[in-house]
Every structure is written in structure tokens, then in C-alpha cells.
Amino acid sequence: MKDFLRRIRALRAALDRPLRGLGAGVLAAGLAGAGAAWSGPLPQPPSGPEFGPSRPGLLHRVAVFGTDDRMALPADKAALRRSIGLIYEGRSHSVCTAFCVGDDMIATAGHCLFRTAGERPLRLKGVEFRLQPHDGPALSSRIAGSEHNGEAQHVAAGSLELRVRPPIDAAQDWALIRIRKPICKGHALPISRQPARALIKLSAAQRVYQVSYHRDFGAWELALGAPCAIRRSFGGADWRAIAKDFVDADHVILHTCDTGGASSGSPMLIDGPKGPEVVGINVGTYLQARVLTQKGEVVHRYKSETVANTAVGAAAFRPALDALARAEILASRDDVIVLQRLLKVEGHYRGTPDGVYGPLLNAAVRAFERAEGRGQTGLATVALLKRLAARDAERRGTPGTPRPTQIETGSVGSHTTTRGNARLPR
């Protein structure tokens, strides 16, 4: 043992560069499962909600930098209760924060629905969004399409298999969801067009803040976190080294807003001319761990250190939001089968045409959009079906149009996420 310790000390000066992906990037979500049983105003239990078991090594309860700056939402921000709510799935007891971005559209972190790579995604049919206004009854809605098992068609996400180890695709950890009821009408939060480089200056002026649910704060009450520092480099972690750990690092925001379980999916905000504007979506915590190696073998691992919390910049998901707002989603199973067959002809769909929208069809749509040079949404839309039908008709040398039967118009070094598992108070 003494010889081993001497070797460690001798190698200390030869530290390899930090290995990312050993601790941060796990989403410590603030989701609580309640399902259909959760109705009426949120009660104030004497000892808080009953939390279900969490997976060992996956969740970080809280990431606080210095003193805990979270506070109850002040009166001048009370209107945000009409825009920011909880998104949850009762079977898994999974809960995150989400916020309104349209009359019938919400945004959250992608891992709040699809988990991370290698994990089982949530059952979308059981996912519900709930608002608790300060001046009225609770409002809730499920995902659009749930009446005919078509929920997945109404979700646009950056990634369905989030990587939390380098290369970390935290910039793709967003999800945009069309919901069945327009419970957000008149209360959508606008998406800021501030460039990423401007956020550092705005944070220096103490203008950046976060509003979120945290399972360790109050009895499921919205909390304000402010001010939030946004920087590129933190402590001994230099941005040039950090950026190498992330895919599309330009759309990753490193910040010090204090977070707890259920805060994944919460908006990072600034006050614009007309009120709060979204500059990003909080998604997780970024950690680094240093190791000592000898002849290419790791001989000692140091404890992972939290560098900063992470968010997705608004520019990463704004184009998809515009596309979802305009999209006419295919509602008929027959139309989805036609779409699958046409994508199969194009060489993108590798499954059986069964009329079910799943990961294979999502990947096929993205591949075709990429081949077209368009932004990748994965949405099965009327416009997409028409384009494919036109290409098919051109190949056959005959005029042709798609055969829609019924159209429904509508509508995270390592990295740790900030989602959680819990039972919400009934």
C-alpha cells in the first residue's frame, strides 16, 4: 500500500486532462408522479411529499453554489404560476418542470420524457401537464393525440437517447409538446432572441433568473432562483477544455442557478420589454473528475467535482418550436402507414409499415429532413407526406398526391440531469 501511495504522489504532477462524464449531466429531475389521481389544489403536507425510490448513482438531490438563493416566488412574479407548471407521469412517479410556449404547447427538458441513453422512456400516454395559478383552480392537460395513442407524434425533441458522457449532447436535451387542451392560452412565455454571448453580460448585470419546482423546496411551490451567474469558465475548469466534452457547445449554458430534483425543464429567464422571456431550459449539472494514469491505465480516480449547472440555449430549440406551431400532424393510422412506406422507398425507414409512430419512424423522418437540407423535427406532418408523395409520383412518372383521410390540426466530464422520482401529494 505504501508503494502504491508513493506512486500516486509521484504521478500527481502528471495528471491527465479531466475526464468528463463521470458525474455531471445526470438530470436530477423534479418530477413527481401523480397521474390521474392528482386533482384539485396542491395540499400542504406536514412533512412534504412521499418520495419513491431513486436509482442509485443517477440522481443528485440538489446542486447549490455557495448559499442557497432559492426563495418563494415573490408577488411581482406571481403571474408566472399561470405559465410554469409540473409535467409528470404517475406510473414512474417521474416529475419535472415545464412551461408554456404557446396556447397549447409547452417546453421541458428532453430527458424528462425520454430519459437518457440506455434507460426506458416514459409512457407518453400517462404524461400530464399541470398549472396551479395563484388566483384560480388548477389546470391540467395530457399530450395531444392521447385519445388514439398518437402522443409521440405531437412531441418534437432534440434527442431521444441523451448521452450524458462525452460527447455530451446537452444542447439537444429539449422537448416541445403539443397538449390536448389550450390551458396556456394568453400565458405563453416568449422565446428571447438574445445571442448566447449576450447572456454573460446580462448575468453580470444580475438580470438572469430561474423559476422552477424543486422537490426539496417547500410543498411543491414554485421558487425563484436569482441572480444566476452565466460564465464560460468556472474555477479551474477552462472553457476550451469544457467545450470538448459537449456536442454543439455553443448552445450550452453553464450557470449557477441553484437546482433541486424536479427543476429539469424549468425556464431561465430575463425581463424583456413586455415581461419575462425565456433564454434557456435548465437540464442538469456538469461534473468533472480527474484521474491518474500509468502506462495508459487508470491507477487512481479523484472525487468528481461539480463545475456548474447546465441549460440549453433558446436558439437550439426555437426553429423546432416554429415548426411545431405550424405543423398539421397526421392523425390517421392509414396516413402514417403511407408515410412509412414512402420513407421506406427513400431508404430511411427500416421497420414494418404498421401505422405506429415510434423511434424508427422518428429517425426516418429526421434522416429525410436532413437529406432535404431542412431542420430536423421528426414530426409526421401533412406537408411531409405531400413532399414524399410528390417525389414518389415523379419517380413513377405519374401525377399523385397523398391520401390523407383525417387531419388533426394542431398543433444531458459527465453530465447529470435534474429530474426526480417521487409521489406527489394527493
**Residue 365 pLDDT greater than 80, yes or no:** yes
Q: 257 and 334: one domain?
A: no
Residue 264 is assigned to a structural domain of this protein = yes
Check which CATH number belongs to the domain holding 343 and give it.
Answer: 1.10.101
What mean pLDDT, rounded, does the chain reach? 80
Residue 7 is assigned to a structural domain of this protein = no
CB neighbour list of residue 375: distance below 8 Å, 6 or more residues apart: 319, 320, 323, 369
Q: 168 and 84: one domain?
A: yes
pTM, rounded to two decimals: 0.78
H or E segment to which residue 303 belongs: none
H or E segment to which residue 297 belongs: strand 297-301
Q: 184 and 261: one domain?
A: yes
Residue 358 is assigned to a structural domain of this protein = yes
Residue 250 is assigned to a structural domain of this protein = yes
- 145 to each of 98, 125, 157, 177, 385, how far by Cα in Å? 19, 9, 16, 11, 18
- Positive or negative, the CA dihedral 308, 310, 95, 362 is negative
What pairs with residue 297 in β-bridges? 294
Residue 116 is assigned to a structural domain of this protein = yes
pLDDT of residue 424: 59
H or E segment to which residue 345 belongs: helix 333-345
**Residue 114 pLDDT greater than 90, yes or no:** yes
pLDDT, tens only, 22-58: 333 333 333 333 222 222 233 222 222 332 333 333 3
Residue 2 is assigned to a structural domain of this protein = no
Q: 226 and 95: one domain?
A: yes
Q: 61 and 195: one domain?
A: yes
Q: 265 and 335: one domain?
A: no
Q: 240 and 341: one domain?
A: no
Q: Confidence class of residue 154 from pLDDT cuts 50, 70 and 90?
A: very high
Q: Confidence class of residue 146 from pLDDT cuts 50, 70 and 90?
A: confident
Q: Tell me the residue range of the domain where 307 lies.
A: 15-321+413-421
9-18, 66-75, 196-205, 261-270: which has the minimum mean pLDDT? 9-18
Core vs surface per residue 150-179: b (16+ CB within 10 A) or e: bbbbbbbbbbbbbbbbbebbbbbbbbbbbb
Q: 311 and 351: one domain?
A: no
Q: Which residue has the higher pLDDT, 20 or 325?
A: 325
pLDDT of residue 61: 43
**Residue 186 pLDDT greater than 70, yes or no:** yes
For residues 357 and 276, give the distance between their C-alpha atoms in angstroms, rounded to a whole number. 35
Residue 10 is assigned to a structural domain of this protein = no
**Residue 245 pLDDT greater than 60, yes or no:** yes
Q: 267 and 281: one domain?
A: yes
Q: What is the mean pLDDT of residues 209-228?
A: 92
Q: What is the mean pLDDT of residues 88-102?
A: 94
Q: 300 and 332: one domain?
A: no
Check which CATH number belongs to the domain holding 205 and give it.
Answer: 2.40.10.10
Q: 371 and 242: one domain?
A: no
Q: 333 and 316: one domain?
A: no
Residue 8 is assigned to a structural domain of this protein = no
Question: How many domains would you assign to the chain?
Answer: 2
